[in-house]
Structure 1
Amino acid sequence: MKNLAIALSVFCIQLCYAQKVYLSKIEKTNDNTDKFLYKKADAIKGAEYLGEIDVQGFSNDDAAVFSLIYKKAKEIGANTFSFKPFENITGIPQPLNPANYKIALYYTPKENLAGQKGMLYVFASSDKNQKININEKDYVLTPRSYLTQEIIPGEVYTISTKKLLGSIIKVQAKNNDENLYFQVSSAKVKSDTSGTGGLNLKSGDIIGLERSYADFLSLIYVQNKQ
Protein backbone atom coordinates (compact mmCIF):
# COMPACT_ATOMS: atom_id res chain seq x y z
CA MET A 1 0.00 0.00 0.00
CA LYS A 2 2.85 2.36 0.84
CA ASN A 3 4.48 1.80 -2.56
CA LEU A 4 1.14 2.33 -4.27
CA ALA A 5 0.65 5.63 -2.43
CA ILE A 6 4.11 6.80 -3.47
CA ALA A 7 3.45 5.83 -7.09
CA LEU A 8 0.13 7.70 -7.08
CA SER A 9 1.81 10.77 -5.60
CA VAL A 10 4.49 10.76 -8.29
CA PHE A 11 1.83 10.33 -10.97
CA CYS A 12 -0.15 13.28 -9.62
CA ILE A 13 2.97 15.45 -9.50
CA GLN A 14 3.70 14.55 -13.13
CA LEU A 15 0.17 15.48 -14.11
CA CYS A 16 0.47 18.84 -12.37
CA TYR A 17 3.65 19.66 -14.25
CA ALA A 18 2.78 18.06 -17.59
CA GLN A 19 2.96 20.44 -20.50
CA LYS A 20 -0.19 20.82 -22.59
CA VAL A 21 -0.16 22.09 -26.17
CA TYR A 22 -3.46 22.78 -27.88
CA LEU A 23 -5.09 24.91 -30.56
CA SER A 24 -6.96 27.57 -28.61
CA LYS A 25 -8.22 29.49 -31.65
CA ILE A 26 -8.81 28.65 -35.30
CA GLU A 27 -9.57 31.65 -37.50
CA LYS A 28 -9.15 29.84 -40.82
CA THR A 29 -7.15 27.05 -42.43
CA ASN A 30 -4.76 26.80 -45.36
CA ASP A 31 -4.15 23.72 -47.52
CA ASN A 32 -0.45 24.31 -48.21
CA THR A 33 1.97 21.39 -47.86
CA ASP A 34 5.01 23.32 -46.58
CA LYS A 35 7.13 21.19 -44.24
CA PHE A 36 8.79 24.13 -42.46
CA LEU A 37 7.56 26.20 -39.54
CA TYR A 38 9.64 29.38 -39.31
CA LYS A 39 9.48 32.29 -36.90
CA LYS A 40 7.78 35.26 -38.54
CA ALA A 41 9.78 38.47 -38.59
CA ASP A 42 7.88 41.64 -37.68
CA ALA A 43 8.69 43.15 -41.06
CA ILE A 44 7.14 40.31 -43.05
CA LYS A 45 4.16 41.39 -45.14
CA GLY A 46 1.34 39.28 -46.53
CA ALA A 47 1.17 36.84 -43.59
CA GLU A 48 -2.33 35.42 -43.18
CA TYR A 49 -3.40 34.89 -39.56
CA LEU A 50 -4.75 31.36 -39.01
CA GLY A 51 -5.04 30.81 -35.26
CA GLU A 52 -3.29 30.37 -31.93
CA ILE A 53 -1.62 27.69 -29.85
CA ASP A 54 -1.57 27.69 -26.05
CA VAL A 55 1.33 26.04 -24.20
CA GLN A 56 0.68 25.41 -20.52
CA GLY A 57 3.07 23.83 -18.03
CA PHE A 58 6.86 23.63 -18.14
CA SER A 59 8.95 20.90 -19.78
CA ASN A 60 12.70 20.52 -20.33
CA ASP A 61 12.04 18.31 -23.36
CA ASP A 62 11.97 21.13 -25.89
CA ALA A 63 12.13 18.78 -28.89
CA ALA A 64 8.98 16.98 -27.73
CA VAL A 65 7.17 20.27 -27.16
CA PHE A 66 8.16 21.54 -30.59
CA SER A 67 6.92 18.32 -32.16
CA LEU A 68 3.49 18.88 -30.58
CA ILE A 69 3.43 22.52 -31.69
CA TYR A 70 4.49 21.54 -35.21
CA LYS A 71 1.70 18.97 -35.50
CA LYS A 72 -0.93 21.43 -34.24
CA ALA A 73 0.32 24.13 -36.61
CA LYS A 74 0.16 21.79 -39.59
CA GLU A 75 -3.44 20.85 -38.74
CA ILE A 76 -4.47 24.31 -39.97
CA GLY A 77 -1.75 24.77 -42.61
CA ALA A 78 0.53 27.20 -40.78
CA ASN A 79 4.12 27.67 -41.95
CA THR A 80 5.14 30.60 -39.73
CA PHE A 81 4.62 31.58 -36.10
CA SER A 82 5.24 34.37 -33.63
CA PHE A 83 5.08 34.90 -29.89
CA LYS A 84 1.82 36.48 -28.73
CA PRO A 85 2.51 38.15 -25.37
CA PHE A 86 -0.01 38.38 -22.57
CA GLU A 87 -0.75 41.89 -21.30
CA ASN A 88 -0.95 43.04 -17.70
CA ILE A 89 -3.88 45.05 -16.34
CA THR A 90 -2.38 48.25 -17.75
CA GLY A 91 -2.05 46.76 -21.24
CA ILE A 92 1.75 46.35 -21.17
CA PRO A 93 2.98 43.21 -23.03
CA GLN A 94 4.68 40.70 -20.72
CA PRO A 95 7.86 38.71 -21.52
CA LEU A 96 7.59 35.05 -22.44
CA ASN A 97 6.98 32.71 -19.52
CA PRO A 98 8.20 29.22 -20.59
CA ALA A 99 5.50 27.64 -18.41
CA ASN A 100 2.59 29.55 -20.00
CA TYR A 101 2.65 31.24 -23.40
CA LYS A 102 0.76 31.72 -26.65
CA ILE A 103 1.94 31.32 -30.22
CA ALA A 104 0.17 32.96 -33.15
CA LEU A 105 0.10 30.91 -36.37
CA TYR A 106 0.24 32.23 -39.93
CA TYR A 107 0.51 31.19 -43.53
CA THR A 108 3.14 33.30 -45.27
CA PRO A 109 3.84 32.98 -49.02
CA LYS A 110 7.39 31.74 -49.53
CA GLU A 111 8.30 34.77 -51.64
CA ASN A 112 7.48 37.02 -48.66
CA LEU A 113 9.66 35.21 -46.15
CA ALA A 114 12.64 37.24 -44.98
CA GLY A 115 16.01 35.93 -46.11
CA GLN A 116 18.54 34.61 -43.64
CA LYS A 117 21.28 36.91 -42.38
CA GLY A 118 24.43 34.81 -42.27
CA MET A 119 24.50 34.11 -38.51
CA LEU A 120 25.90 31.30 -36.38
CA TYR A 121 23.54 30.22 -33.58
CA VAL A 122 24.71 28.04 -30.67
CA PHE A 123 22.05 26.94 -28.18
CA ALA A 124 22.70 25.67 -24.67
CA SER A 125 21.21 22.54 -23.21
CA SER A 126 18.16 22.98 -21.02
CA ASP A 127 19.58 21.85 -17.69
CA LYS A 128 23.07 23.11 -16.79
CA ASN A 129 25.89 25.52 -17.68
CA GLN A 130 28.05 24.50 -20.61
CA LYS A 131 31.53 25.72 -21.54
CA ILE A 132 32.21 25.96 -25.25
CA ASN A 133 34.93 27.34 -27.48
CA ILE A 134 34.36 28.99 -30.85
CA ASN A 135 37.50 29.74 -32.87
CA GLU A 136 39.70 29.76 -29.74
CA LYS A 137 37.38 32.03 -27.73
CA ASP A 138 35.71 30.63 -24.61
CA TYR A 139 32.05 31.11 -23.71
CA VAL A 140 29.75 29.89 -20.93
CA LEU A 141 26.21 29.12 -21.98
CA THR A 142 23.69 29.22 -19.16
CA PRO A 143 20.73 26.82 -19.32
CA ARG A 144 18.08 27.71 -21.91
CA SER A 145 20.15 30.44 -23.53
CA TYR A 146 21.89 30.91 -26.88
CA LEU A 147 24.53 33.07 -28.49
CA THR A 148 24.92 34.35 -32.00
CA GLN A 149 27.86 35.42 -34.15
CA GLU A 150 27.85 37.06 -37.53
CA ILE A 151 29.32 34.70 -40.11
CA ILE A 152 32.35 36.03 -41.97
CA PRO A 153 32.27 34.86 -45.61
CA GLY A 154 34.74 32.03 -46.25
CA GLU A 155 35.70 31.57 -42.58
CA VAL A 156 35.75 28.10 -41.01
CA TYR A 157 34.21 27.93 -37.54
CA THR A 158 35.59 25.42 -35.03
CA ILE A 159 33.22 24.64 -32.15
CA SER A 160 34.40 22.60 -29.16
CA THR A 161 32.67 21.52 -25.94
CA LYS A 162 35.87 21.90 -23.89
CA LYS A 163 35.72 18.34 -22.54
CA LEU A 164 38.35 15.57 -22.53
CA LEU A 165 36.08 13.35 -24.60
CA GLY A 166 33.89 16.11 -25.97
CA SER A 167 33.10 17.03 -29.54
CA ILE A 168 34.92 19.28 -31.97
CA ILE A 169 33.34 20.24 -35.27
CA LYS A 170 34.41 22.50 -38.12
CA VAL A 171 31.70 24.21 -40.19
CA GLN A 172 31.52 26.72 -42.99
CA ALA A 173 28.48 28.44 -44.47
CA LYS A 174 27.75 27.59 -48.11
CA ASN A 175 26.92 31.21 -48.88
CA ASN A 176 26.90 34.61 -47.20
CA ASP A 177 23.19 34.47 -46.34
CA GLU A 178 23.10 31.01 -44.78
CA ASN A 179 22.47 30.61 -41.05
CA LEU A 180 24.08 27.76 -39.09
CA TYR A 181 22.34 26.30 -36.03
CA PHE A 182 23.84 24.04 -33.35
CA GLN A 183 22.95 22.90 -29.85
CA VAL A 184 25.40 21.80 -27.19
CA SER A 185 23.82 18.89 -25.36
CA SER A 186 24.80 17.57 -21.94
CA ALA A 187 22.89 14.34 -22.63
CA LYS A 188 22.53 11.93 -25.51
CA VAL A 189 19.91 13.13 -28.00
CA LYS A 190 18.43 11.04 -30.77
CA SER A 191 18.11 12.52 -34.23
CA ASP A 192 14.64 13.17 -35.61
CA THR A 193 14.09 11.10 -38.74
CA SER A 194 10.39 11.85 -39.05
CA GLY A 195 10.91 14.54 -41.68
CA THR A 196 8.86 17.02 -39.68
CA GLY A 197 11.74 19.24 -38.63
CA GLY A 198 13.93 18.70 -35.59
CA LEU A 199 17.39 17.40 -34.90
CA ASN A 200 20.03 16.22 -37.34
CA LEU A 201 23.79 16.17 -38.03
CA LYS A 202 24.49 14.65 -34.62
CA SER A 203 28.16 14.75 -33.62
CA GLY A 204 28.67 13.63 -30.02
CA ASP A 205 27.33 16.39 -27.79
CA ILE A 206 27.14 19.03 -30.55
CA ILE A 207 24.01 18.68 -32.64
CA GLY A 208 23.17 20.49 -35.85
CA LEU A 209 19.61 21.81 -35.86
CA GLU A 210 17.09 22.25 -38.64
CA ARG A 211 15.94 25.87 -38.92
CA SER A 212 12.33 25.29 -37.81
CA TYR A 213 13.39 23.84 -34.46
CA ALA A 214 16.13 26.44 -34.04
CA ASP A 215 13.60 29.22 -34.66
CA PHE A 216 11.45 27.75 -31.89
CA LEU A 217 14.38 27.60 -29.47
CA SER A 218 15.25 31.23 -30.25
CA LEU A 219 11.71 32.08 -29.15
CA ILE A 220 11.73 30.29 -25.79
CA TYR A 221 15.44 30.67 -24.91
CA VAL A 222 17.18 33.88 -23.84
CA GLN A 223 19.91 35.39 -26.01
CA ASN A 224 23.23 35.41 -24.19
CA LYS A 225 25.09 38.66 -24.79
CA GLN A 226 28.83 37.85 -24.52
Structure 2
Amino acid sequence: MKKLVLLLLMIICNVSYSQKIEFLERNDITEKSKEKLFVFLCSETNLTDSKLAAKIKVTGKSNDTFLLFQTIKHEAQKIGTNAFKFEKFNKVDKENGELILSLYFCNDSVFEENYKNIPKNKIYIFGDQNVNKTKREDFTINGVEYEIISGKFKEFELKIGEQLKINKGGGKTGKTYWVNGEKDKIAMFFSFTGIGLTENTHNLDIGNSTVKVKADPFNIIDPNFGLTLLNIFEPQE
Protein backbone atom coordinates (compact mmCIF):
# COMPACT_ATOMS: atom_id res chain seq x y z
CA MET A 1 0.00 0.00 0.00
CA LYS A 2 2.82 2.39 0.91
CA LYS A 3 4.55 1.62 -2.39
CA LEU A 4 1.33 2.40 -4.25
CA VAL A 5 0.98 5.77 -2.48
CA LEU A 6 4.61 6.63 -3.27
CA LEU A 7 4.08 5.68 -6.90
CA LEU A 8 1.01 7.89 -7.15
CA LEU A 9 2.89 10.81 -5.61
CA MET A 10 5.74 10.30 -8.07
CA ILE A 11 3.28 10.36 -10.96
CA ILE A 12 1.71 13.57 -9.63
CA CYS A 13 5.13 15.22 -9.28
CA ASN A 14 6.28 14.12 -12.74
CA VAL A 15 3.13 15.48 -14.33
CA SER A 16 3.54 18.82 -12.55
CA TYR A 17 7.10 19.11 -13.80
CA SER A 18 5.86 18.63 -17.39
CA GLN A 19 4.19 22.02 -17.28
CA LYS A 20 5.95 24.88 -19.05
CA ILE A 21 7.27 27.33 -16.43
CA GLU A 22 8.45 30.85 -17.26
CA PHE A 23 9.80 33.49 -14.86
CA LEU A 24 8.45 36.84 -16.09
CA GLU A 25 10.24 38.63 -13.24
CA ARG A 26 12.80 37.52 -10.66
CA ASN A 27 14.19 39.43 -7.64
CA ASP A 28 16.55 38.32 -4.91
CA ILE A 29 15.10 38.30 -1.41
CA THR A 30 17.26 38.14 1.70
CA GLU A 31 14.52 36.93 4.06
CA LYS A 32 12.91 33.60 3.24
CA SER A 33 10.05 31.65 4.74
CA LYS A 34 10.81 28.69 6.99
CA GLU A 35 7.20 27.49 6.75
CA LYS A 36 5.65 25.97 3.65
CA LEU A 37 2.86 28.52 3.31
CA PHE A 38 1.26 29.66 0.07
CA VAL A 39 -1.27 32.28 1.10
CA PHE A 40 -3.61 34.09 -1.29
CA LEU A 41 -3.17 37.87 -1.11
CA CYS A 42 -6.35 39.87 -1.63
CA SER A 43 -6.22 42.82 -4.02
CA GLU A 44 -7.09 45.19 -1.15
CA THR A 45 -4.10 44.13 0.97
CA ASN A 46 -1.28 46.68 1.21
CA LEU A 47 1.94 45.04 0.00
CA THR A 48 4.26 48.01 0.50
CA ASP A 49 6.25 46.19 3.20
CA SER A 50 6.26 42.86 1.32
CA LYS A 51 9.00 41.60 -0.97
CA LEU A 52 8.16 40.64 -4.55
CA ALA A 53 10.37 37.66 -5.35
CA ALA A 54 9.04 36.57 -8.72
CA LYS A 55 6.24 36.61 -11.24
CA ILE A 56 5.71 33.17 -12.77
CA LYS A 57 3.69 31.99 -15.74
CA VAL A 58 2.89 28.30 -16.10
CA THR A 59 1.29 26.87 -19.22
CA GLY A 60 -0.50 23.53 -19.37
CA LYS A 61 -3.83 21.80 -19.77
CA SER A 62 -6.74 24.16 -19.04
CA ASN A 63 -8.83 21.26 -17.77
CA ASP A 64 -6.58 20.95 -14.70
CA THR A 65 -6.18 24.39 -13.13
CA PHE A 66 -5.15 22.80 -9.84
CA LEU A 67 -2.09 21.28 -11.50
CA LEU A 68 -1.10 24.71 -12.88
CA PHE A 69 -1.53 26.16 -9.38
CA GLN A 70 0.49 23.38 -7.72
CA THR A 71 3.32 23.80 -10.23
CA ILE A 72 3.76 27.46 -9.26
CA LYS A 73 3.38 26.61 -5.57
CA HIS A 74 6.26 24.13 -5.88
CA GLU A 75 8.51 26.81 -7.41
CA ALA A 76 7.41 29.37 -4.81
CA GLN A 77 8.46 27.19 -1.90
CA LYS A 78 11.82 26.49 -3.52
CA ILE A 79 12.67 30.20 -3.55
CA GLY A 80 11.35 30.86 -0.04
CA THR A 81 8.17 32.84 -0.64
CA ASN A 82 5.05 32.38 1.48
CA ALA A 83 2.29 34.23 -0.37
CA PHE A 84 1.02 35.02 -3.84
CA LYS A 85 -1.14 37.46 -5.74
CA PHE A 86 -3.33 36.40 -8.64
CA GLU A 87 -2.42 38.19 -11.85
CA LYS A 88 -4.08 36.51 -14.81
CA PHE A 89 -5.47 33.34 -16.34
CA ASN A 90 -5.73 33.02 -20.12
CA LYS A 91 -6.93 30.27 -22.46
CA VAL A 92 -4.14 29.72 -24.96
CA ASP A 93 -6.23 27.43 -27.18
CA LYS A 94 -8.98 24.82 -26.81
CA GLU A 95 -6.84 22.57 -24.62
CA ASN A 96 -4.27 24.79 -22.88
CA GLY A 97 -4.25 27.72 -20.52
CA GLU A 98 -1.71 29.86 -18.70
CA LEU A 99 -1.77 30.97 -15.09
CA ILE A 100 0.29 33.94 -13.84
CA LEU A 101 0.95 34.55 -10.14
CA SER A 102 3.24 37.03 -8.37
CA LEU A 103 5.15 35.52 -5.44
CA TYR A 104 5.86 37.44 -2.25
CA PHE A 105 7.54 37.11 1.10
CA CYS A 106 5.22 38.65 3.71
CA ASN A 107 5.50 39.19 7.44
CA ASP A 108 2.80 38.43 10.02
CA SER A 109 1.36 41.97 10.00
CA VAL A 110 0.58 41.64 6.29
CA PHE A 111 -1.12 38.29 6.89
CA GLU A 112 -3.21 39.85 9.66
CA GLU A 113 -4.38 42.63 7.35
CA ASN A 114 -4.94 40.18 4.52
CA TYR A 115 -7.12 37.96 6.72
CA LYS A 116 -9.49 40.89 7.24
CA ASN A 117 -9.95 41.14 3.48
CA ILE A 118 -10.81 37.48 2.90
CA PRO A 119 -14.58 36.90 2.38
CA LYS A 120 -16.36 35.87 5.57
CA ASN A 121 -19.49 33.77 6.12
CA LYS A 122 -19.83 32.79 2.49
CA ILE A 123 -20.07 29.39 0.81
CA TYR A 124 -18.76 28.87 -2.72
CA ILE A 125 -19.71 25.83 -4.78
CA PHE A 126 -17.50 25.11 -7.80
CA GLY A 127 -18.32 23.11 -10.91
CA ASP A 128 -15.95 20.69 -12.60
CA GLN A 129 -12.58 22.29 -13.39
CA ASN A 130 -12.65 21.13 -17.03
CA VAL A 131 -13.72 24.43 -18.56
CA ASN A 132 -13.91 22.78 -21.99
CA LYS A 133 -17.00 20.77 -21.00
CA THR A 134 -20.50 21.61 -19.82
CA LYS A 135 -20.83 19.01 -17.08
CA ARG A 136 -23.70 19.73 -14.69
CA GLU A 137 -23.90 18.74 -11.02
CA ASP A 138 -27.09 18.91 -8.95
CA PHE A 139 -27.15 19.73 -5.23
CA THR A 140 -29.39 21.31 -2.62
CA ILE A 141 -28.88 24.14 -0.14
CA ASN A 142 -31.34 24.00 2.80
CA GLY A 143 -33.66 21.89 0.66
CA VAL A 144 -33.60 24.17 -2.40
CA GLU A 145 -32.34 22.55 -5.61
CA TYR A 146 -29.47 24.07 -7.61
CA GLU A 147 -27.07 23.01 -10.33
CA ILE A 148 -23.49 24.01 -11.06
CA ILE A 149 -21.79 23.92 -14.49
CA SER A 150 -18.14 23.23 -15.33
CA GLY A 151 -15.91 26.29 -14.98
CA LYS A 152 -18.45 28.22 -12.90
CA PHE A 153 -19.20 28.88 -9.22
CA LYS A 154 -22.16 29.84 -7.08
CA GLU A 155 -22.00 32.00 -3.96
CA PHE A 156 -24.22 31.62 -0.90
CA GLU A 157 -24.48 33.82 2.19
CA LEU A 158 -23.97 32.16 5.56
CA LYS A 159 -25.81 34.17 8.19
CA ILE A 160 -24.32 34.41 11.67
CA GLY A 161 -26.17 32.16 14.10
CA GLU A 162 -27.85 30.14 11.35
CA GLN A 163 -27.02 26.76 9.88
CA LEU A 164 -26.68 25.98 6.18
CA LYS A 165 -27.23 22.42 4.95
CA ILE A 166 -25.49 21.33 1.73
CA ASN A 167 -26.60 18.01 0.23
CA LYS A 168 -25.28 16.10 -2.77
CA GLY A 169 -27.18 13.00 -3.86
CA GLY A 170 -29.95 11.26 -2.00
CA GLY A 171 -30.61 8.02 -0.18
CA LYS A 172 -27.85 6.02 1.47
CA THR A 173 -25.15 7.22 -0.95
CA GLY A 174 -25.87 10.92 -0.48
CA LYS A 175 -23.57 13.28 1.39
CA THR A 176 -24.54 16.19 3.61
CA TYR A 177 -22.54 18.97 5.27
CA TRP A 178 -23.83 21.37 7.88
CA VAL A 179 -22.05 24.71 8.17
CA ASN A 180 -22.71 27.13 11.02
CA GLY A 181 -22.52 30.88 10.55
CA GLU A 182 -20.12 32.47 13.06
CA LYS A 183 -18.54 35.87 13.44
CA ASP A 184 -15.48 36.29 11.18
CA LYS A 185 -15.84 32.72 9.85
CA ILE A 186 -13.62 32.41 6.77
CA ALA A 187 -15.38 31.55 3.51
CA MET A 188 -15.57 27.86 2.64
CA PHE A 189 -15.11 26.36 -0.81
CA PHE A 190 -16.69 23.10 -2.01
CA SER A 191 -16.71 20.91 -5.10
CA PHE A 192 -18.24 17.58 -6.05
CA THR A 193 -15.48 16.55 -8.43
CA GLY A 194 -12.31 16.39 -6.32
CA ILE A 195 -10.80 19.75 -7.30
CA GLY A 196 -7.71 20.55 -5.30
CA LEU A 197 -7.26 17.18 -3.59
CA THR A 198 -4.52 14.84 -4.81
CA GLU A 199 -4.09 12.66 -1.71
CA ASN A 200 -6.31 11.06 0.92
CA THR A 201 -5.83 14.08 3.14
CA HIS A 202 -4.97 17.67 2.36
CA ASN A 203 -3.54 20.42 4.54
CA LEU A 204 -5.41 23.71 4.30
CA ASP A 205 -3.01 26.60 4.99
CA ILE A 206 -4.79 29.83 5.87
CA GLY A 207 -1.80 31.80 7.14
CA ASN A 208 -1.92 31.07 10.84
CA SER A 209 -3.40 27.60 11.16
CA THR A 210 -3.63 24.29 9.32
CA VAL A 211 -6.69 22.05 9.02
CA LYS A 212 -6.58 18.46 7.74
CA VAL A 213 -9.49 17.45 5.56
CA LYS A 214 -10.23 13.90 4.45
CA ALA A 215 -11.01 13.56 0.76
CA ASP A 216 -14.36 12.14 -0.35
CA PRO A 217 -16.81 12.72 -3.24
CA PHE A 218 -17.84 16.02 -1.58
CA ASN A 219 -14.62 18.00 -1.21
CA ILE A 220 -13.56 21.02 0.79
CA ILE A 221 -11.10 23.04 -1.30
CA ASP A 222 -8.00 24.72 0.11
CA PRO A 223 -9.12 28.36 0.71
CA ASN A 224 -6.03 29.71 -1.06
CA PHE A 225 -6.82 27.73 -4.19
CA GLY A 226 -10.53 28.49 -3.78
CA LEU A 227 -9.86 32.23 -3.76
CA THR A 228 -7.73 31.76 -6.87
CA LEU A 229 -10.55 29.89 -8.61
CA LEU A 230 -12.88 32.84 -7.99
CA ASN A 231 -10.66 34.74 -10.42
CA ILE A 232 -10.53 31.90 -12.98
CA PHE A 233 -14.07 30.52 -12.97
CA GLU A 234 -17.13 32.58 -13.87
CA PRO A 235 -20.04 33.29 -11.49
CA GLN A 236 -23.21 31.38 -12.28
CA GLU A 237 -26.56 33.03 -11.70
Q: Quick check: TM above 0.5? A: yes
The unaligned stretches of length 5 or more in structure 1 are 1-14, 86-94
Take 2:230 and 2:211, find their aligned partners in 1: how far apart are those partners?
15
Take 1:27 and 1:192, find their aligned partners in 2: how far apart are those partners?
36
Q: Which has the larger radius of gyration?
A: 1
Q: What letter matches 1:82 in structure 2?
A: K
8 A contact 1:173–1:180 mirrored in 2? no
The structure with more strand, counted as a fraction of residues:
2
Q: Offset of 1:56 from its aligned partner?
A: 1.2
TM-score normalized by the length of structure 2: 0.70
1:182 paired residue among 190, 209, 213: 190
> Which residue of structure 1 lines up, in the alignment, with residue 157 of structure 2?
150
Task: Work out the percentage of aligned pairs sharing the same amino acid.
Answer: 19
The unaligned stretches of length 5 or more in structure 2 are 1-14
1:41-60: CA deviation from partner (whole Å, max 9, x where unpaired): 22211332111111213242
Q: Evaluate the alpha carbon distance shift between residue 194 and residue 153 of structure 1 in structure 2; reply closer, same or farther with a 3 A threshold.
A: closer
8 A contact 1:122–1:148 mirrored in 2? yes
> Which residue of structure 1 lines up, in the alignment, with residue 141 of structure 2?
134
Take 2:24 and 2:83, find their aligned partners in 1: how far apart are those partners?
17
> Which residue of structure 2 lines up, in the alignment, with residue 221 of structure 1?
233
1:172 paired residue among 170, 174, 180: 180
Aligned residues: 199
1:68-119: CA deviation from partner (whole Å, max 9, x where unpaired): 221111122222222334xxxxxxxxx7437123211122323223223222
In the alignment, does 2:98 pair up with 1:100? yes
Take 2:164 and 2:142, find their aligned partners in 1: how far apart are those partners?
6
> Which residue of structure 1 lines up, in the alignment, with residue 168 of structure 2?
161
Alignment of 1:1-226 (within 5 A): 19-29=19-29, 30-45=31-46, 46=48, 47-85=50-88, 96-97=90-91, 99-113=97-111, 114=114, 115=116, 116=118, 117-127=120-130, 128-163=135-170, 165-173=173-181, 175-185=183-193, 190-191=198-199, 193=201, 195=203, 201-202=213-214, 204-224=216-236, 226=237
Judge which range, 137-146 or 201-210, deviates more: 201-210
TM-score normalized by the length of structure 1: 0.72
